A and B are shown apart, each in its own frame.
Chain A
Amino acid sequence: MNAPAQIRTGAPTLDVRGLRTTFHLHAGQLRAVDDVSFSVGRGQIMGLVGESGSGKSITGFSIMRLIDRPGRIDGGEILFHGRDLLQISDRDMRQLRGTKIAMILQDPMMTLNPVLRVETQMIETILAHEKVSRREAWERSRDALGLVGIASPEERLRAYPHQFSGGMRQRVAIAIAMLHRPDLIIADEPTTALDVTIQAQILSEVQQLARNFDTSFVWITHDLSIIAGLADSIAVMYAGKIVESGTIDEVLDQPMHPYTMGLIDSIPSRSEGRRRLKQIPGMTPNMLNLPAGCPFRSRCAHATSVCQHTPRLTAPSPGRTLRCFHPLAEPVS
């Protein structure tokens, strides 16, 4: 039943090219997303990794075209099945949201409206896009809740969000996102606020869903260890730019950007005993006042005078991109 291989190798579900999102603040212009390009194939999961403030969430909201003022997307293309989302009307974009492109947010306590029943919040999602009876919408909502592993969905539909635990709420949010069988889901740190055991359950269910329905994911997170077991490809963001991308195995086994290396090194590992964790020195730069050149250079052990210039995007091998003058050439054990 799975899609044949040639469809997977065809046009990607999502192809972002040179995306630029700027916040026009009183204090100046904040370029939160700067020349970001990546693509996600059908049924693929791409991890978008970075520290807080790196622009990864803004990238996600840009794809949804849900950037609030004073933010504005002012460059690039977001090709969804080959169609540029930045060129279509607001009306068409609204129709795509929820049906073809869905979103899951970080905090399940805040995602669902506290004063509306779960059934209201599910049924409205169906009725906003399809002319079906309330009864049918209700039945589909019930089935969707069952699909994400919520017991006795009929009763739970009557409940309010506060009557669910955090993990259950995130399941409800996932069920809502899956209602129209979207081709793409933007997942903005959906497991960060959950216990590790719940986290693992949700991750395995998401993988299942992605496989069964051929849904593509942009999985935004700061946690490399989640991505390692989940994603097919990875893009590492720093200060609004993607500094390195490639397949998950290539990038994690052989990171080329010193920042990626730093992120991998700061994951605690059991096998290496009680050694002191390596950390990346310094802090993320002030996005309002980015110095010229490589934004990572002040924290980078390999920085030289050439890093005063902005590194261009290079492709060290097919399917891999890098933005660094001093790639870590040697394989890392």
Chain B
Amino acid sequence: MTTWLFRRLLQAAMVVLAMTIIVFVGLHVVGDPVTTFAPPEATQADLARIRENLGLDRPFALQYVSFLSDLVRGDLGTSYVYGVPALELVLSRMPATFELAATAMAISIVIGIGLGIYCGLYPEKSVSRAIMAGSIFGFSLPTFWVGIMLIMLFSVELGWLPSGGRGETVTVLGLRWSFLTWDGLAHLLLPAINLALFKMSLLLRLTRAIVRETLPKDYVKFARAKGLPERRVLGVHVLKNIMIPIVTIIGLELGSVVAFAVVTETVFAWPGMGKLIIDSIQILDRPVILAYLIIIVLMFVVLNLIVDILYAVLDPRVRQGMMS
């Protein structure tokens, strides 16, 4: 168990290392950040001084080595634009993104799995067919377009919901939350639905397929032959088995829902990490980009770890393998 954990952490460190190299090289090739954010009236001498201050005048390899040695000490550098530590900047935007992502994921889990089970149990019903047809739109329409359409319909035409921002927030545990006020909730709803739509369709189709696959299994027949009530056959025998693959997918998708929040945050002007990273990429704010990506990578690693542990909780066969 400990070796397993150690190996996973080592893997994570390798992934972070590889990612930083790629980003470093990539940004170096793209161009000189100083020209993008320096005022237009700055002279060549000004630019050179800025470069010197930021350490960008040094050779590329040297820059990378000093970045790594800072990284080991937990220092991810200072944003070129905001002048504050990059990590702090990204972390300050994280709660907004997590709030949006968690709400979107909750919506897709509840609706996606619920409808998926229904469609799997009654594939012939016309309601199921309609749901399945609708789900195709869910993952084939581009997120940004759906977001714009949602704003057009609910904000512009009907005027029911606000079109952007976080609305009124409440500070709990030192962080600002939208979902605790009615205004905040109204602001959260549209972007959350927008972000949830794709995952919901994915989970729905996946759940349906797994249910259809599980129902003809012998252990389900045997459970029925034992005279168990149908709700126990479905609620325990079927549900416990289908949760194993579904949990894996949810874990992986949790990561990508945070990453995909970039598009939704941009459309709805949601002040999260996604909006920050888009802005930072445009002005080549290297420390912020790196800090964001490192956090995303670590998040994926942690999520995968949680999925593996949940897997063991759900499946006794995996549990045995991990112990030995």
Contacts and interface: CB of A to CB of B under 8 A. Distances in A.
B317 interface: yes
Contacts of A64: 224-225
A295 B176 CA distance: 77
Interface in A109-124: 110-117, 124
Interface string B120-146: 000010000000000000000000000
A125 B221 contact: no
B149 to A, nearest CB: 38
A42 interface: no
A107 B221 CA distance: 12
Contacts of A116: 236-237, 240
A297 B295 CA distance: 73
A111 B228 contact: no
A99 B241 contact: no
A73 B103 CA distance: 47
A116 B223 CA distance: 12
B217 interface: yes
Interface in A154-208: 160, 162-163, 173, 176
B73 interface: no
Contact of B219 (A66, A114, A128, A129): A114
Given A111-B219, A162-B316, A129 B227 contact: yes
Interface core residue of B124, B222, B226, B317 (most chain A CB under 10 Å): B226
A124 B216 CA distance: 21
Given A114-B316, A115-B315, A116-B240, A98 B226 contact: yes
A135 B222 CA distance: 24
A192 to B, nearest CB: 13
- SS of B interface (majority): helix
Nearest to B216: A68
Nearest to A120: B236
Given A110-B218, A111-B218, A160-B317, A99 B225 contact: no
Nearest to B314: A115
Contact of A99 (B219, B227, B317): B227
Interface string A67-111: 011000000000000000000000000111111001101110011
Interface residues of B, number: 26
Given A107-B218, A116-B236, A116-B240, A160 B224 contact: no
A69 B124 CA distance: 10
Contacts of A102: 225-226
A91 to B, nearest CB: 9
A124 B228 contact: yes
A112 B228 contact: no
B172 to A, nearest CB: 38
B318 to A, nearest CB: 10
B221 A115 contact: no
A128 B227 contact: yes
B229 interface: yes
A160 B320 CA distance: 10
Contact of A113 (B216, B241, B320): B241
Contacts of B221: 61, 66, 105
Nearest to B237: A113
A110 B320 contact: no
Given A111-B218, A114-B317, A125 B226 contact: yes
A115 B240 contact: yes
Nearest to A68: B216
B219 A110 contact: yes
Contacts of B241: 113-115
Given A111-B218, A115-B315, A103 B227 contact: no
B227 A94 contact: yes
Contacts of A97: 224-227
Contacts of A110: 217-219
Nearest to A70: B124
Given A115-B315, A128-B232, A96 B219 contact: no
A98 B225 contact: yes
B186 interface: no
B278 interface: no
Interface core residue of B219, B221, B224, B228 (most chain A CB under 10 Å): B219
Contact of A124 (B124, B232, B315, B316): B232
Interface in B190-236: 215-219, 221-229, 232, 236
Given A105-B218, A113-B219, A128 B317 contact: no
Given A105-B218, A110-B217, A115 B316 contact: yes
A99 B240 CA distance: 25
B238 to A, nearest CB: 9
Contacts of A111: 218-219, 222
A125 B241 CA distance: 19
Nearest to B215: A68
Contacts of B223: 113
A206 to B, nearest CB: 17
Contacts of B218: 105-107, 110-111
Nearest to A97: B227
Contact of B225 (A66, A68, A113, A124): A66
A66 B124 CA distance: 19
A94 B228 CA distance: 7
B23 to A, nearest CB: 42
Interface of A: 61, 64, 66, 68-69, 94-99, 102-103, 105-107, 110-117, 124-125, 128-129, 160, 162-163, 173, 176
26 contacts: A66-B221, A66-B224, A68-B215, A69-B124, A96-B227, A97-B224, A98-B225, A102-B226, A103-B225, A110-B218, A112-B222, A113-B237, A113-B241, A114-B219, A114-B315, A114-B316, A115-B316, A124-B226, A124-B232, A124-B236, A125-B227, A128-B226, A128-B227, A129-B227, A160-B316, A173-B222
Q: What 3 pairs between A and B have smallest CB-CB spacing? A: A98-B227, A97-B227, A110-B218
